[in-house]
Amino acid sequence: MTDLIDKKPTEGYYDPEPRFGACPYCCRSHGYINVRNSPWFLCDTHMVRWCTSSGMFSDWQDENEEIWEKNVKKLEGYTIVEPIDSLDEIIPQPIDKVNISGEKR
Ligand SMILES: [Zn+2]
């Protein structure tokens, strides 16, 4: 029997050049969600998030308070980390060594 179920990737994508940062634990990103004009990138595997510069993307303009509220709820469960922005920095780090920064750098 053929498996017709569309298997969606759950591991996130591996960005060879993480322009917008990547998870410091696995160098992956599961994309971003907006809170108003602030895009937050996520790693769902490690439950971490990092913010890039506001105004980088424009899709937030098509969203609304309802969506942002939902996004804020989701983000509350994620720890803010300092993302890696270069593959040279891929060094798996113990969680307590990761630089925890504020929402804005
Ligand atoms: Zn990760």
Specify if 104 maps to a domain: no
pLDDT of 57 over the 70 cut = yes
Specify if 12 maps to a domain: no
Give the pLDDT of residue 85: 75
Give the pLDDT of residue 60: 93
Cα–ligand 1 centroid distance for 15 (angstroms): 12
Specify if 96 maps to a domain: no
DSSP state of 45: T
The residues with which 79 forms a beta bridge, in sequence order, are 48
Q: What is the pLDDT of residues 63-89, one digit of tens each?
A: 999 999 999 999 999 999 999 875 555
Specify if 45 maps to a domain: yes
Q: What is the pLDDT of residues 7-25, one digit of tens each?
A: 334 445 555 566 788 898 8
Using alpha carbons only, give the angle 59, 53, 44 rounded to the nearest 5 degrees: 70
Specify if 30 maps to a domain: yes
Specify if 103 maps to a domain: no
Cα–ligand 1 centroid distance for 76 (angstroms): 17
Provide the number of structural domains found in the chain.
1
pLDDT of 50 over the 60 cut = yes
Tell me which residue range forms the domain holding 27: 2-6+22-85
Confidence of residue 6 (pLDDT cuts 50, 70, 90): very low
Over its C-alpha atoms, the chain yields an Rg (Å, rounded) of 15
Tell me which amino acid residue 57 is: F
pLDDT of 91 over the 60 cut = no
Residues with CB under 5 Å of ion ligand 1 are 23, 25-26, 43, 45-46
Specify if 60 maps to a domain: yes
Specify if 47 maps to a domain: yes
Q: In the numeric block, which tokens belong to residue 56?
A: 């980088």
